[in-house]
Amino acid sequence: MGPLNVVGGHVALDLVNTVEPRVPGGTVGTDHLGTPDDLARWAVRGALLDDEEAERVRRAWTDGDGGARAHAATLEIREATYAVLLTQLGAADGANAALDVLVGHWRRAMGRSTLSFASTDDRLRVGTDPELVVPDRLAHAAVALLRTLDVRQLKACPLDEGGCGWLFLDRSRNGSRRWCSMGDCGTRAKSRRLTERRRGARSGVPQSS
Ligand SMILES: [Zn+2]
């Protein structure tokens, strides 16, 4: 599996985008968070954990089923966040049930949370039980995103045009960003349109563009 691109513009969106393609109604695509190990690696790469915290998390996860619990909680938060965000994009179903799941995780995370200065700099970081610090921080992040989201900026890479369905914040001034990243889906869609046009030209069938 190649490296996972990070395009969302917010860690909660990058969490949603760990399934590829991202299709409403279930995780049918490649899941980049298939195991607790995948999750630990992703959390470090996305700066959700610093190296020292990652070490503590790994230690906590080697005992019993800590890793499995954190992994399961993370996937619940991910799918609930996705379902709630879809309603912001106009989908009608499932928002309340998903919101209940997310709020449940967020409240439990709050109950365990502390605030302290990080060892690497002077920034405050949310700490919790090392076993659950990853899902807890993600629950905080997801709620923070939903509370402050400018829905006009929220977009999905267009599945019906060959995109991947990933969610991202379009922060361009004129709101013109269409693809998760022009280097991936945008370029693929463009070359596909070109091929279709050439094929059409050869067969003499006029193509609409
Ligand atoms: Zn895409």
Per-residue pLDDT at 122 exceeds 60 = yes
Residue 92 within any structural domain of the chain: yes
Query: How far, in Å, from the CA of 159 to the mean position of ligand 1?
Result: 8
Query: How far, in Å, from the CA of 140 to the mean position of ligand 1?
Result: 26
Residue 45 within any structural domain of the chain: yes
Query: How far, in Å, from the CA of 179 to the mean position of ligand 1?
Result: 5
Q: What is the pLDDT of residue 1?
A: 41
Inter-axis angle of helices 36-45 and 66-88, to 10 degrees?
Answer: 60
Q: What is the pLDDT of residue 9?
A: 85
Q: Which pLDDT band holds residue 204 (cuts at 50, 70, 90)?
A: low
Query: How far, in Å, from the CA of 163 to the mean position of ligand 1?
Result: 4
Span 120-142, mean pLDDT?
89
* pLDDT more than 90, % of the chain: 59
Span 72-80, mean pLDDT?
97
- Reported as a single tens digit per residue, the pLDDT across 37-47 is 999 999 999 88
Residue 121 within any structural domain of the chain: yes
Please give the tally of structural domains in the chain: 1
Surrounding ion ligand 1 within 5 Å at CB are: 157, 163-164, 180, 185
Per-residue pLDDT at 116 exceeds 60 = yes
Q: Which residues pair with 125 in a beta bridge?
A: 116
Query: How far, in Å, from the CA of 205 to the mean position of ligand 1?
Result: 29
Average pLDDT over the chain, rounded to whole?
87
Report the C-alpha gap between 186 and 163 in whole angstroms. Answer: 7
CB 56 within 8 A of CB 43: no
**Full residue range of the structural domain in which residue 110 is found:** 11-173
Q: Which pLDDT band holds residue 209 (cuts at 50, 70, 90)?
A: very low
Q: What is the pLDDT of residue 206?
A: 54
Structure tokens at 127: 């700490």
Report the C-alpha gap between 132 and 129 in whole angstroms. Answer: 5
Residue 145 within any structural domain of the chain: yes
Query: How far, in Å, from the CA of 177 to the mean position of ligand 1?
Result: 11
Q: Which pLDDT band holds residue 27 (cuts at 50, 70, 90)?
A: low
143 CB burial (10 A radius; 0-12, 13-18, 19+): buried
Q: What is the pLDDT of residue 90?
A: 86
Residue 189 within any structural domain of the chain: no
CATH code of 65's domain: 1.10.3300
Span 164-168, mean pLDDT?
94
Query: How far, in Å, from the CA of 61 to the mean position of ligand 1?
Result: 33
Residue 184 within any structural domain of the chain: no
Contacts within 8 Å (CB) and 24+ apart, 26-32: 27/79, 30/1, 32/1, 32/4
Q: What is the pLDDT of residue 107?
A: 97
Residue 202 within any structural domain of the chain: no
Span 86-106, mean pLDDT?
89
Residue 207 within any structural domain of the chain: no
Query: How far, in Å, from the CA of 145 to the mean position of ligand 1?
Result: 21
Per-residue pLDDT at 170 exceeds 70 = yes
What are the helix and strand counts (H, E) for the chain? 7, 6
Span 90-96, mean pLDDT?
78
Q: Which pLDDT band holds residue 179 (cuts at 50, 70, 90)?
A: very high
